[in-house]
Amino acid sequence: SAVISQKPSRDICQRGTSLTIQCQVDSQVTMMFWYRQQPGQSLTLIATANQGSEATYESGFVIDKFPISRPNLTFSTLTVSNMSPEDSSIYLCSVITGDSPLHFGNGTRLTVT
């Protein structure tokens, strides 16, 4: 399966600032997704990262708050903009290659103070 590297692994940020999370895969993948896991909760899909075009956002998530880039088949970024304490979560990159099931990176643990 693909090796997924996510950076940073954790960060503590002040409210009002923005953080960009990077996801790098060691091989070309078919699909890339970004999920959020709020404290003590399950995972919620934020968006599908589309190569060379705007991401497809799920209900409740907007591009101004969570801009996503995917310039090629192996790399994507998620930015959490104008952060508030409610954005404190684990953000996870996930990928699908061909018919393989969904695999996750180790996540970015974000704390907003």
Judged by the rule CB under 8 A, the positions of this chain that interact with another protein are: 1, 6, 31, 33, 41-45, 48, 90, 92, 94, 96, 101-107, 109
Could you tell me the smallest distance in angstroms from the CB atom of residue 82 to another protein?
Answer: 26
Closest CA to 86 of 20, 15, 18: 15
Could you tell me the smallest distance in angstroms from the CB atom of residue 9 to another protein?
Answer: 10
- In sequence order, the 6+-apart residues with CB closer than 8 A to the CB of 58 are 44, 45, 46, 47
> What does the DSSP 8-state code read for residue 53?
S
| CB closer to another protein, 36 vs 80 | 36
| CB closer to another protein, 15 vs 58 | 58
Could you tell me the smallest distance in angstroms from the CB atom of residue 23 to another protein?
Answer: 12
Residue-wise burial string across 2-28, b where 16 or more C-beta atoms lie within 10 A, e elsewhere: eebebeeeeeebeeeeebebbbebeee
Could you tell me the smallest distance in angstroms from the CB atom of residue 92 to another protein?
Answer: 6
Residue that has been written with the tokens 């998620």 in this structure: 78
| CB closer to another protein, 59 vs 82 | 59
